Amino acid sequence: MTDNKTFKVTLIKSLIGRHEKHKACANGLGLRKVHQSVEVIDTLANRGMANKIYYMVKIEG
């Protein structure tokens, strides 16, 4: 059995007026609306996207 670790990401600031690459990172994580939370699998790619938009999200876990 594999243990897929996850972490929770919540969008706390709007995507309006942000860089296109930062919007793409939010969309890649599954974030569409402000105050929306998603659980994503803890991979290097997902961590990198979350870290790139650190100023717009709250990361838990």
Could you give the CA distance from residue 42 to residue 13 in angstroms, rounded to a whole number?
22
* DSSP for 28-39, written as a single string: HHT--STT-EEE
Helices marked H in 5-57: 20-29, 44-52
- Other Cβ atoms closer than 10 A to 3: 4
The domain of 16 spans 6-60
Q: Kindly report the CATH number assigned to the domain that includes residue 10.
A: 3.30.1390.20
Q: At what angle do helices 20-29 and 44-52 cross, to 10 degrees?
A: 130
Which tens digit of pLDDT belongs to each residue from 5-59? 999 999 999 999 999 999 999 999 999 999 999 999 999 999 999 999 999 999 9
The total of structural domains in the chain comes to: 1
Its pTM stands at 0.89
Q: What is the pLDDT of residue 4?
A: 84
φ and ψ at 30, to 5 degrees?
Answer: 95, 15
